[in-house]
Structure 1
Amino acid sequence: MKFGVEDMWYEYFTDNKFMSMLYTNVPTLKNLRIEKIEISREGDRLTVGFDLPFFADKPPKKWVERKYTTTFVELDFFGIQEVSIKARSNTYRGDIDICKDEQTNFLIVNITGTVEAKIIAGSGLIQVSGY
């Protein structure tokens, strides 16, 4: 397996250039407030949504004008091969570790904290917004 450098997690996702446009140093996925874990499209798509630990240091003009203070990320996973979720609380906080299996080319995602999840997926897409 190819494990990513922690601050390069976004490189595993399609349309990831926006992250490096927003941040001089993209935050690691540690101690996050995880807002959602959602399964859709009959199990073929899984979305993990969370706030990044600090706001963009190069936010878009629109975010500044609207006085946004939080960067929200949604990671969409497709071609789901495996998923398991276990929660110990109704407030989800945790770390997200992402790597790529070099043999299968699958993304392997492990979430640890008050919610635990393992996701194995064929591909991923990143979406970023502010609020």
Structure 2
Amino acid sequence: MWYNFLERSKFISNLYDDVPDLNNVRIAAIKITDEGRRVSIHFNMPKFGDNPPSKWNNSRYNTVFVELDFFDIKDLSVSYCKENLRGNINIQKNEESGLKVSISGSVNVTFLADIGMIQSVSGYIDTVEE
């Protein structure tokens, strides 16, 4: 599974009985920083968590928001074709470079990274109709 290749994945693996694949996710942001050495991907998980914290239940959250960071980027490619960012996010172990990350959909991104981590996982109320 995609999260096994990332550091700080314990919370996401506890949040779900079976962590879903990242298919057709709504992407809030793709950020390229540190002169291209860092890529951040912010997105909504495809389904709400099976075991949310009680604070999330009490606040009636219905969406899980994830921020991933990747470092020491190589071979970055980006193309964009629509306003609404949606896509499938695929993260695989790569023998040569650490991680191979690709997004395919209304935005297409591919890159190699030495390391990736789950920067944050939060809940919120999403009122946007899918």
- Does TM, normalized by the shorter one, top 0.5? yes
Unpaired stretches in structure 1, ≥5 consecutive residues: 1-7
Aligned-partner SS, 1:30? strand
| Alignment equivalent of 2:109, drawn from 103, 112, 117 | 117
Deviation (angstroms), 1:38: 0.4
Give the superposed CA RMSD: 1.0
What is the alpha-carbon distance in structure 1 between the residues aligned to residue 44 and residue 61 of structure 2? 12
The CA distance in 2 between the partners of 1:79 and 1:33, in whole Å, is: 25
- Cα deviation for residue 84 of structure 1 reads 1.1
Does residue 48 of structure 2 align to residue 55 of structure 1?
A: yes
Identity of counterpart residues, as a percentage? 46
| d(CA) in 2 for partners of 1:51, 1:129 | 10
What CA deviation, in whole Å up to 9, does each residue of 1:40-67 have, x standing for no partner?
1222211011101110010011111221
Calculate the TM-score normalised by the size of structure 1: 0.89
Greater per-residue strand proportion? 2
SS at match of 1:53: coil
Q: In structure 1, how many angstroms separate the alpha carbons of the residues matched to 2:18 and 2:89?
A: 17
Distance in 1 (CA, whole Å) between partners of 2:117 and 2:14 is 17
- Residue pairs, 1:1-131, within 5 angstroms: 8-102=1-95, 104-126=96-118, 127-131=120-124
Q: CA deviation at 1:105?
A: 4.2
TM-score, with normalisation over the residues of structure 2? 0.90
Which runs of 4 or more aligned residues in structure 1 lie more than 4 Å from their structure 2 counterparts after TM superposition?
A: none
Structure 2 unaligned blocks of 5 or more: 125-130
CA distance in 1, matches of 2:85, 2:106: 6
Say how many residue pairs are matched: 123
- Please state how far the C-alpha of 1:20 moved relative to its aligned partner: 1.4
